[in-house]
Structure 1
Amino acid sequence: MEIYRDSKLILEINDKDVNLQVFNEKISMPEFNNVCKLNPRVKITDFIALKKLLNLDSTEKTKIGELKEIYELDISKDEMVAYLKIYLTNSEIDRDVDKVKTDIISFLNSKNILEGINHELLNSDIPSCKKFVVATGKAPISGENAKLVYYKLSERKVKEGTDGNMDFYDVKLIDNVEKDDWIGEKIPPTLGINGKTLFGKIVEPKPGKDAQLKYEKKSVYENPENGNYVLRAKFAGAVKFDGKKIGVDNHLVIHGDVDYSTGNVDFDGYVTIKGTVADLFSVEATKDITIEGKMGIGAVKFIKSRDGSVSISGGVNGKNTTKISAKRDVYLKYVNETSVVAGGDIHISQYSMDSYLEGKKIILSPKNGRIIGGQVKADHKIITGSIGNKFEKKTVVNVKGFERVMIKHELDSIEIILKETIGKANKLKRQLEIFESNKSRLEEKALNTFRALIINYDNIMDEIARTNIKLDHLEDMLKTRGDGEIKIVNGVYPKTVLEIKNLQRKVNDLMSCSFYVKDNELHLYD
C-alpha cells in the first residue's frame, strides 16, 4: 500500500515493512526527512540501503525500515508515570480527534493501566510525535511525624514603661500550675495514605516518625486522651523546662507576709510572697523567689536564691542590713542601702542609692535610672541614665573588663566543640529512630542497648544546652563596646570614680558621655 508518492519517489507499506523506490534524480537527506515527517510511523532500520537509493545507486524497490505502532508507551521503573508518544500527524489527529482519544484510552486499558489517566490533557490539544505524560499513579502521602507541645514558660523580659522606667511588674519568674493541669502533649505520628501504581498496586506510604515526651516522672504523669498523650502535673507547683525535660517543682505561695506568723522561709523549690518580708526575717529557696508586694521590703536579713533568680516588685530599703543574692538574675524596682550580688545580671527600674551591686551586667533604666553613692561592680557592662548627683555624692563604678581576642578565641573553640557535639547527637538520634521504628520486634539485649542510647542522648543534649548558655554569654560580652563599657545616657556628676580594666577616671565636672576601654586606653563617646 502506497503511503506517499511524488515525482521522485514512492513510499509504500507491505505488511510491517517500509519499502522505498527512487527514480529520475537524487534526493537529499533533508528532502527525505520532510517526507518522513508526513509519515511519522516510518522507522528507518537500514541506512545503507536508504543512502544507495537516495544517491540513485539503486532504483529497485527496497526495504529501508518498518512501520511503527501508532502508540508508543514508556513506563517509569516505579510504575507511577506513563509516557505516550503518538505517531500521527497533527492533521491526522485533528481529522478524527474523538476516535484518537477513544483509541488512546482503549490502548492504555489494554496495557492494564487503569489509574490516573490524564483526561484533562486528552480533552485539550493532543501532541503529535512528542512524548507526554498520559497517566500518573496516585503517590502515597507520607505520615506526619509526632508533634510534641510543651507548656510555654513566660518570657523573662523587662519592658520600658511610658514613664521611661523599666516595668518589673510584668516580669514573671514563676509559671504556676495546679494538680492535674496540662503541661504538655504528644500528637502521635500518622501512618500516611496509601498510593496506587498505574496498574492498581498498593504503594505503602512512609509512616511518620515517633517522638518521646521528655518529662520528670516524679512530678508529671502521662495520660492517653482523645488519641493523644497528655502530660499533667502530679501536684501543684511551678513549671520548669530546660528545652529537654519538663517538670513541676515545689512552689510555696505565701498569700500574706513573711513575719512572725510564718517564721523565716527556707524552701526547696520556688517561692512566691504576695505581700512583703518583715524586717530581720529571711527567705531562702533553691529556685526563683518572687516578692509581689508593691511596698517592697525593708531591713530584712537576707533574700537568697541558690539556683534561680530574685524579683522584688516594690524595691528595697535595706538600711545597710539587707543582703540579696541569686545564682541567676535579680530584678528590683529600686534599691537603697542594700547589698545585691547576682551570678547573672542585675536589673533596676529606678535607682540604686548607697548600695553595693555586683553582677555580670548592671542595667538600670537608660532614661531615668540613677546610681547614687555606693559601689557598683560588673564583669563587662553597666547601663544607666546617670551616675552621682548634683550634691556630688561619691560613687564608685567598676567594670572588670575582658580580653576581646581571648573571648573570640574561646567562642570559636566552643562553637567547634558544639558543632561536633551536635553531630554526635544527630547520629544518636538517627540510631534511636531506627530502634524506635522496630521497637515492637526488639529482643531484650537490643532493648537494653536502646535504653542506654536514650540516656547517652539525654546527656549529650544536656551538654548542648549548657554550651549554648555559655555561648550566649560570650556573644553578649562581644556586643560590649571595647573591652568593657559604662554607658551613661544622661550624665555623670563630680566625685564619681569610673574604673574599667584598672583604668580609672575621676570626674570633677558634670559630663554627658559614656566610657569604654580599647587598646588599654579609656575612651569617651556620646
Structure 2
Amino acid sequence: MIIYNNEFLEIVEDNSKVYIQTIKKGYPLKKLDEVLRTYPRIKLTNFALLKRALETIDEKVEIGIWLPSLDIEVSKDKMSVSIIVYETLDAIRENKDQIISQIKDALSQNHIVHGINDIDLNKLVPGKASLIAQGTPPIPGEDAVIKYLEIPDRKPMIREDGKADYFDLNFIFEIKEGDWLGEKIPAKPGIDGKNVYGEIIPAPFGKDHQLKYDKNSAKEVEENEKIVLYATTGGVVEQRQGLISVNRHLPIDGDVGIETGNIKFDGSVTIRGTVMNGFSVVATGDISIEGIDGITGAKLIQSLEGDVFIKGGIFGVGETEVEAGGSIFVKHVNDAKLFAKKDIVIGSYSLGSYLVANSVLVDERKGKIIGGKAIAKNRIVTAIAGNHLERRTELIIESLSKHQAYEVIQEKASLLKATQEEIVQLTTKINLIGEYKQSLNRQQAAGLDQIKIEIEKKKEVAVQLDREIKELMYNLKNVGKEEITVKKEAHPGTYIQIGAKSSLLSNMTQGTFLLEFGELNV
C-alpha cells in the first residue's frame, strides 16, 4: 500500500512494515520529517537510515512499522483502560462512526465490560492515550475506634493571672466498680470493587485495634454492637505501661506516724495529713500527700511505678528521700534527695537538695534552685540559679553520646534475647514434664512448680528490659538537644555541665545553655 509519494520518493506499507524508496535525490530531510508527522500510524524504528535512504536511489529501505488504527492498553492492576488512536484529526472527524465502532469492538475483543466511559472523539489526541474505562476501587472498611476514660493531666492548674497553682493538681482519679473505662467500635467490612473485566476486588476489612487494659481490674462486655470496658473493682484509674487499669487505693484521713506505722501498700495511697518525722510510705502506685504543711523529716516516700505529689513541700533536714517510678510534683524542696524516672516538677524553690530525673522543671517565672545539685538527662529549667552569696549550685545534664547509647541498647537487646530464649527452653521443659504430670512424685511436682516460678521471674525481667530499651531509644532521639535554661538570673557560683563540657559562672547571666559545635555556649 502506498502511503505517500511525490517526484522524489515513495513511502509504502508492506506487511505492517514501512519502507521508503528514493526516486530522485534532493528531497530535504526536514521536509520528510514533516511528512512523516502527518501520518500518526507510522512509527519510526530507525531514524538514522532516513538520511542515507534519501541519498540512495531505487533502494527500498525499512524505516518503521505501520501501527493499527487504534490500540488498547490495560493497566497492570486491571483498573484502567486507555485508547490510543493513530489517525489524523481530519480522519477521526470524517470517520466518527467507524472509529467509535472500532473502539467498541476493541473493548469487546479485550473483554472490557466495566467502567466504560462515554466516547468523546473531540477530546482524542492522535497518538496520545485517552482514558476509556476505569474500574471501581474497593473501599476499605472503617478501622476499629477505641475510646478510653479521659484521665486528667497531672499538670499544675494555671490561674487567670497566668501563675501556676501547685495546690490544685488532679492527682488521684478514683472510680467505682462497674464504671465505664472505655469502648471499642469494631472494625467494619468494606465495599468490594470491580476491575475493568468485571472481576470482583474484595475490599479489605477495617484494621482492628485491641482494647489495652489490665485484665485483673477490667472486663469487656458486648453492648449495642460495641465492646465496652468496665471496671471490675473500685480504686484509682491509671495508665500503666500502655494499659488502663484500676489499682487498689488506700486513703489515710490523718497522718502517717505512730498510730499507723510505716505504710507499705500494693496500690495507690492518699494521705490527707502528713508523714511524720522518721516514717516511710512505700507503694506500687501513686502517692499523694495532701497536708498543706507538706512533710518534715520523713524517711522515705517511694512510688515504685507511679507518681508522687506532695502538696505542701518537703523539709528534708538531711533525712528525707523521695523516689518515683514516674514523676515527682512538689511545691518546694529543702535539704532532701529526690529521684524520678520521669520529671521532677517544683512550684517554688529547691534549696540545698539533690535532684535526679529525666527533666528538672522549676517554675520559670519565679522558681529558684539554690545550692545542691540538679542532675537531668534531658533538660533543666528554672528562673533563678544560685544566689547573691554565690552559693555553689550545680546544674548538670548527664547524657550519653549516640555511640555509648547504641552500645547500651545492644547490650540490653542481647540480654533480652538470651532471657527470651531461656523462657522458651523452660516452657518446652514444662510441656515435656507436663505429659507425665499424673505420675510425678511430690519432689518432682515441686520442681515443676519451681520452674514455673522461674519462668514468671524471667518474664518480668524481659518486660523490664524491653521497657528500658524503649526508654533508651526515646532518649536517643534527644541526644544533642539537651539544654539548661535559666530564665532570669544565673548567679556567680553556678556550675553548668552538659555531657563532658562544664563551666563555673563568674558573672551574672541568663539564657539557655547548650552544646554548640561540641562546646558549651557559656
TM class, shorter-length: 0.5 to 0.7
- State the secondary structure of the residue aligned to 1:334: strand
User: Cα distance 1:54–1:164, how it changes in 2: closer, same or farther (>3 A)?
Assistant: closer
Contact 2:80 2:135 in 1 (8 A): yes
SS of alignment partner, residue 332 of structure 1: strand
State the structure with bigger RCO (CA 8 A, min sep 6), 1 or 2: 1
C-alpha change, 1:65 and 1:466, in structure 2 (3 Å) is closer
Aligned to 2:404: 410
Q: Deviations over 1:162-200 (max 9, x none)?
A: 778653245444444433334344444444332222121
2:329 maps to 1:331 = yes
Using the alignment, how far apart are the partners of 1:173 and 1:310 within structure 2? 9
Give the secondary structure class of the aligned counterpart of 2:345: strand
Instruction: Indicate whether 1:276 and 2:276 are aligned.
Output: no
Which string of whole-angstrom CA distances, capped at 9 and with x for unpartnered residues, describes residues 190-237 of structure 1? Answer: 443322221211122344454443332111212234434333322222
Q: Give the Cα separation in 2 of the matches to 1:382 and 1:64.
A: 79
Contact kept? 1:75, 1:81, Cα under 8 Å:
yes
| 1:355-504 alignment, distance < 5 Å | 357-360=354-357, 363-370=361-368, 376-379=372-375, 383=382, 385=384, 387=386, 399=394, 409-414=403-408, 463-470=465-472, 489-490=488-489
Find the counterpart in structure 1 of residue 508 from structure 2.
Answer: 512
Q: Report the Cα distance in structure 2 between the residues aligned to 1:21 and 1:327, rounded to whole angstroms.
A: 90
- Given the two structures, how large is their TM-score scaled by the length of structure 2? 0.65
Q: SS at the partner of 1:350?
A: strand
Task: Render the CA deviation track for 1:427-448: whole Å, top value 9, x for unaligned.
Answer: xxxxxxxxxxxxxxxxxxxxxx
Match of 2:231 in 1: 233
Deviation (angstroms), 1:310: 1.8
Are 1:267 and 2:265 counterparts?
A: yes
Q: How many pairs align?
A: 462
Structure 1 partner of 2:179: 181
Structure 2 unaligned blocks of 5 or more: 418-457
Query: Which residue is equivalent to 2:427?
Result: none
What is the aligned partner in structure 1 of residue 114 from structure 2? 115
Question: 1-side partners of 2:496 and 2:130: how far apart?
Answer: 78
TM-score normalized by the length of structure 1 = 0.64
User: Are the structure 2 counterparts of residues 139 and 462 from structure 1 closer, same or farther at C-alpha, using a change threshold of 3 Å?
Assistant: farther
Q: Over residues 57-111 of structure 1, what are the superposed CA-to-partner deviations in whole Å (9 max), with x where a residue is unaligned?
A: 389xxx9999865332233444333232223210122335466446534542454
One-letter amino acid of the structure 2 residue matched with residue 57 of structure 1: D
1:80 aligns with 2:79: yes
Between the aligned partners of 1:289 and 1:251, the Cα distance in structure 2 is 10
Change (3 A) 1:206 1:476: closer
Q: Percent identity?
A: 27
- 1:440 aligns to what? none
> Counterpart of 1:197?
195
> What amino acid sits opposite 2:356 in the alignment?
G
Amino acid at match of 1:92: A
Return the letter of the residue paired with 1:104.
I
Which moved further from structure 2: 63-72 or 150-159? Answer: 63-72
Question: Tell me, which stretches of 5 or more residues in structure 1 are unaligned?
Answer: 425-455
Shift in Å at residue 332 of structure 1?
1.9
Task: Answer whether contact 2:395 2:495 (CA < 8 A) is retained.
Answer: no
- Separation (CA, whole Å) in 2 of partners of 1:386 and 1:340: 18
- Between stretches 80-89 and 260-269, larger displacement belongs to 260-269
**AA of the residue aligned to 1:129:** G
Structure 1 residue 217 corresponds to structure 2 residue 215: yes
Change over 3 Å in CA distance of 1:291–1:324 after alignment to 2: same
CA, structure 1 residues 225+18, in 2 after alignment: closer, same or farther (shift >3 Å)?
A: same
The root-mean-square deviation of aligned C-alpha atoms, in Å, is 5.7
Q: Matched residue of 1:349: which SS?
A: strand
